Structure 1
Amino acid sequence: MTTVAPPPTRRRSVLGWIAVGVVLLVVGGIGAALSGLGRWNERDALDPDSAGPLGARALAQILRQQGVEVIVARDRGTAAEELQAGATTLVLPDAPALSDGAILALTRRAADVVLIEPRSRTLDLLIPGSKAAGVAPADTVVQPECELAEAVRSGAVSTGAVYAPGDSSGMSSCYPAGGGFGVLVASSVAGGPADGRVAALDGRALLTNEILAENGNAALGLNLMGRHPTVVWYVPGIADTDLQNAHPSLGQLTPPWVSPVIVLLLIAGLAAAVWRGRRFGPLVTERLPVSVRAAETTEGRARLYARSRDALHAADQLRIPALARIGRALGLGAGSTAAEIADAAAARTGLDRAVVHGTLIHDIPRGDADLVAIDARLRHLEDAVHAAVRPERNPR
């Protein structure tokens, strides 16, 4: 049994699809790696041990040089334990994995709270009525324009996010810009000591290593965080959560209308496949190979040439096999040109060389009559060649 190899075009097509799949996998892997690097860079943001551009190690070192002890707590239990040591300042970034109760349990232990990445939920929880109010115009340096001593000593800064103050008593709103204020300070902590306070500012725009030396950023961070001898800098971890459903499923995260829409799309796709799909008829047996008589092929080609009125092409179909037969009769090789065959036929038969060249090569037919004439001259020339090659077969 003979195994038939697949056609080269099909093999190339399969290899092409494989190459496309490999390229997509490589691009996806590179994208995933870059995305992962981006996530790790985000984890270093406002980390007091990070020396990267988004870290806050420079501010932590300045606080230590001023005699303030900076304790980095990377879980909620450590932060709660360190806050019991006395008058302390809690530096609290955004902690979406903590419930309101967990956040209040930490802030009640602190004398001061500095929110360095506040969101509307945390603002409303610790400074009731306050909320995020957008972002100040880029590269806009503003003065404190308030009576808060720490802000007045710090001078002008370029705020990032701004906040709308609530109606709490003892509220100080500093650095007005873009429809809000860059720093909010409320003179009480929820459940904390009477002399405690909560400050809120955009730490990414003021306290990171790459911009701490600009304007009064370093002074503002030092003045707000250095009021007490100890700073507990809480860095929330991924697993540091008290939420009951911290890892919801995909079905819980999607809106309720998504599942019906997916089912409807699947039904529509199936209906379209049935509607537009190819329908195969019954199997038909056929005897292979199919034999086609040469006369039928010749007649079919002749009809095509006649329909297209391509007399020259039809003449070539008569001349090419005639040249091959005459060349074989004269003993010429397969590589002989048409001119060489014509010269040899003229020399062997004694016919005029120009006539032989015109019959085999040069004469251009103008219509069916010329084709009939060329066919007759070709037959006459072949007979003459055969008569010259084998004269004994032609009686005199």
Structure 2
Amino acid sequence: MSTPATKPTEPAASTAVARPRRMRRGLGWVVIALLVVGAALLIMQISASTTVPFRGGGDPDGTGDNGMLALTEILREQDIEVEVVRTRADAVAAIHDDTTLAMTDPFALSDEAVTDLLEPADRVVLLSTSTRMLDLLELGEPTSASTSAAVTASCDLPELARVGEIRPGRMFVPAAGVTGCYPDAEGNAALLVDDTDGRRVAMIDGTRLFGNSYLAEDGNAALGLALLGQTGHVVWYVPSIADGDVEAQTEPSLGELTPQWVTPAIVMLMLAGIAAAVWRGRRFGPLVAETLPVTVRASETMHGRARLTAKAADAGHAGAALRDGAVRRLARRLGLHDRAGAAEVADAVADRLRIPRTGVQNLLNGALPVTDDALIDHARRLADLESAVDHALRTERGTR
């Protein structure tokens, strides 16, 4: 009896082929991590070694909202030479008899350096507020008052005769012998002009009036021309820390206080973190989306604040919140600008509804309620006013 032929057994799959594949895959991850770290270090080095000049507020070459490039271009269109300098030496060298020196607050200069800078100039225009400059030049005193209402020059300077109204920011108290222009109801002035000692020095909050985003409002552009366009040459000095003379008073930076071994240690930690992520990261499975056990409605925040206000019995605070919201909504519906105040909105509402201004002014800009009953009545009147404006607007659209 013959025995059946045995089937030859297949050789077991060897792991010798899979092991090099895993090694190559791991080596690829390491190379990628090293490239990422190298690129990050290169970017950090380039950023640290490259100095880009900052064109911030008050800079005549600044294109941002607070830059003054628009005013600079307007002066040049009037055939006025505007020379932008960024060092004291260049500023003094550029000043001659028919020159106006313009600058913002020279924060990095000492009093002696400021005096030396202003000495050769016959006309100086300071375009920012500075308590130190007020005291140094004896122009007046600072005040916390500010106004957004339109004011006129109300002074005898002929170059301001055709400027018109402006809406200044910071106000000052003029010193004796100093002319104050654009005053408010309390006598504070937005523009200080001193003509003593054979030199004219003017100070105004230029960052509020002559910034690129504000220059087209009211008579701001005309005022800028009146202050800087009286001579054919303007030297515009841009202060900077690099041009300062008070280096001894500066404190050491964080980089100077950091030991030298910190940077290599941070790089080693980054490498260790990347290696750990490559080593352990592939063991995790895919992300699983889970719903939150609790759904929080946005209205709960509003109700919570309302309960806090009611518990505190602060009717005035609640009335102010209601009135602020009503003013913003009315301004948006009437097409007013974002910075429109309550008085301006009240005038626009009175004109649209053809009702007396006094009642609307008292509602939107008057005293706040102090009791709960007064608060309820205040809220009802605000709602009725908004409804009336909405009805008037719908009626106007329907008749067109």
Task: Give the alignment's TM-score, normalised by structure 1.
Answer: 0.48
Greater C-alpha Rg: 1
Task: Give the alignment's TM-score, normalised by structure 2.
Answer: 0.48
